[in-house]
Amino acid sequence: MGRRTPGAEPVPVASHHNMQTASGANDLVLHTEACFTAYPPDFLALLGLRPDSIGQAATLVSDIPRALAHLTPAERGALREPLFVFPTDRGSYLHEGRRTTEPVPLLRDRPDGPALEYSTLITAITPAGAAALAALEESLGRCAQSVLLGSGDLLLIDNRHAVHGRTAFRPAYDGADRWIQRVLLLRQLPSGGRIVPDTRLAHYPTDYIKALALPA
Ligand SMILES: O=C(O)CCC(=O)C(=O)O
Ligand SMILES: [Fe+2]
């Protein structure tokens, strides 16, 4: 087994209860898997091993093209501008006195259609960016569908065309909680190499990495 990374084995962990990670139990906000890392997966596969006994933990999936269709052209235009950051002490940019990642666009036009990278934890650095982000969050929430993963169910998510999250639930932490397994899939290995560096932790705040008890 390799070292553990956040969400590599999404089984609830008591010390992660309130954290934004697949091993947490509060609402897991809508996100693109591994957004803004070197290799966001093209797809993720979630396999239900053990369901949540009282059916609270629902995986949420929201279709990006459908959500974008509800935005105005000006809002979609703002999403194409480099106006969006993650707050993190390990960032190199300063916004309103706080360190963040470098501003990037959320929406890019690719040959196979618009590609969005998104997390509800992103903030905007201008009022136009903030308005577009609020409209997007509202629309993604409205378009979200929920799936209760039963034992043996396999959910395949197209990470370029959908964001996902999970509703809150109350694990007992007794070894019998909901348990899913996850595989991240890339259509093609980058630059012909066989080993893909894991850049998922590159911008995570130091406190978050410490709380997950992961190597930085
Ligand atoms: O628990 C879930 O249904 C989804 C968790 C998640 O976002 C993930 O494993 O990437
Ligand atoms: Fe995820």
> How far apart are the C-alpha atoms of 56 and 74, rounded to whole Å?
37
H or E stretch including 207? Answer: helix 206-212
> How far apart are the C-alpha atoms of 136 and 33, rounded to whole Å?
17
Distances (CA, A) of 70 to 39, 102, 159: 28, 28, 20
pLDDT given at position 80? 97
Name which residue sits closest to atom 8 of ligand 1, judged by CA. Answer: 22
- What DSSP designation does 180 have? E
CA of 99 to the centre of ligand 2 (A): 24
Please, what are the averages of pLDDT over each run of 10 residues along the chain (216 residues)? 47 86 90 89 95 95 96 97 94 93 92 86 96 98 97 96 95 92 87 69 82 64
Ligand 1 close to Cβ of residue 51 (< 6 A): no
For the chain, how big is the Rg over CA atoms in Å? 17
Closest to 51 (Cα-Cα) out of 143, 196, 166: 166
Distances (CA, A) of 178 to 30, 47, 53, 65, 153: 19, 11, 7, 31, 13
- For every residue of 141-177, DSSP letters joined together read HHHEEEE---TT-EEEEETTTEEEEE-------SS-S
pLDDT given at position 193? 66
- For every residue of 65-122, DSSP letters joined together read HHHHHTS-HHHHHHHTSS-EE-B-TT-SEEETTEEEPPPB-SEEEETTEEEE--BTT-
Q: Which of 21, 35, 49, 59 to mutate to test the pocket of ligand 1 (most atoms within 8 A of CB)?
A: 59
Ligand 1 close to Cβ of residue 5 (< 6 A): no
Domains (range + CATH), the chain: 22-210 (3.60.130.10)
**Stated pTM of the model:** 0.89
The structure tokens 């590609």 sit at 115
Q: Which of 166, 185, 200, 212 to mutate to test the pocket of ligand 1 (most atoms within 8 A of CB)?
A: 166
Do residues 124 and 84 lie in contact, with contact meaning Cβ atoms separated by under 8 Å? yes
Ligand 1 close to Cβ of residue 177 (< 6 A): no
pLDDT given at position 200? 73
Residue 103 burial (C-beta neighbours within 10 Å; 0-12, 13-18, 19+): middle
> How far apart are the C-alpha atoms of 99 and 95, rounded to whole Å?
6
Q: Is 181 helix (H, G, I), strand (E, B) or coil?
A: strand
Residue 124 burial (C-beta neighbours within 10 Å; 0-12, 13-18, 19+): buried
pLDDT given at position 6? 47
Ligand 1 close to Cβ of residue 166 (< 6 A): yes
Name which residue sits closest to atom 9 of ligand 1, judged by CA. Answer: 22
Ligand 1 close to Cβ of residue 163 (< 6 A): no
